A and B are shown apart, each in its own frame.
Chain A
């Protein structure tokens, strides 16, 4: 029996194919949402689908595929998904704060209004000095 040409079992191939296609579909849907949504504040939600579920599915697929090759458990890919899970929200928060800052300096019709101006409440708004 040739030890080098040992293949992965069928269930591992099927699991890898399903996970890869699911992750790529999530990434495609997220990027399509980025292209399709009307304003920036809706657009920023869409790519997080690819950055969370897409990355997790595809790294799980690589773990399944390389662990089924017979060289032991392959866990290097978990590093990538942990790193992306740590950094994607940080980037989103930075860009969101920058966009709010820019829209409040140079007003944009698509920007959300600040919460003070948003609710002219019946309980009596605070009088401006």
Chain B
């Protein structure tokens, strides 16, 4: 691994960690419930991107399945929470 790729991956991981901290701050601060829902949406997208970058760091393709599962269940969770905000119940 050349130094440019090494430091590029370090910088990307740092930026994604900053992004996840921003989303976490909005998740904790957020005045209304819908703010917390979009903060959680942003948080799982950033975590999925971090999984993809870690897959490059360790040169392993196992991380793609994890990233795919995070995307899948994150979408299901966000849709369920939006339904809950709209109706007050998830399954009626």
Q: Which chain B residues border A31 with CB–CB below 8 Å?
A: 18-20, 22-23, 42, 46
Question: Do B8 and A21 touch across chains, with their CB atoms under 8 A apart?
Answer: yes
A-side interface mostly? helix
Question: Do B35 and A50 touch across chains, with their CB atoms under 8 A apart?
Answer: no
Q: Which chain B residues border A17 with CB–CB below 8 Å?
A: 4-5, 7-9
Question: Do B12 and A23 touch across chains, with their CB atoms under 8 A apart?
Answer: yes
Question: Do B64 and A77 touch across chains, with their CB atoms under 8 A apart?
Answer: yes
Q: How many CB-defined contacts (below 8 Å) exist between A and B? A: 170
B-contact bits for A38-61, CB 8 A (1 contact / 0 none): 001001100100110011001101
Distance (whole angstroms) from the CB of A27 to the closest CB of chain B: 5
Question: Do B85 and A98 touch across chains, with their CB atoms under 8 A apart?
Answer: yes
State in angstroms the CA–CA spacing of A57 and B56 once bound together.
13
Distance (whole angstroms) from the CB of B30 to the closest CB of chain A: 9
Residues 73-92 of B at the A interface (beta carbon under 8 Å) = 75, 78-79, 81-83, 85-86
| Total contacting residues, chain B, CB less than 8 A | 51
State in angstroms the CA–CA spacing of A70 and B15 once bound together.
29
A-contact bits for B52-71, CB 8 A (1 contact / 0 none): 11011001010010011001
Question: Do B56 and A55 touch across chains, with their CB atoms under 8 A apart?
Answer: no
B-contact bits for A71-108, CB 8 A (1 contact / 0 none): 00010110110011001101110110111011000001
- Whether A84 contacts B2 in the complex (CB less than 8 A), given A34-B38, A97-B86, comes out as no
B-contact bits for A9-35, CB 8 A (1 contact / 0 none): 010011011101101110110111011
Question: Do A28 and B15 touch across chains, with their CB atoms under 8 A apart?
Answer: yes
* 8 residue pairs, one from A and one from B, having the closest CB atoms: A17-B8, A94-B82, A98-B85, A31-B19, A47-B42, A24-B12, A24-B15, A31-B22
**B8, B13, B68, B85 pick with most chain A CB within 10 angstroms:** B8
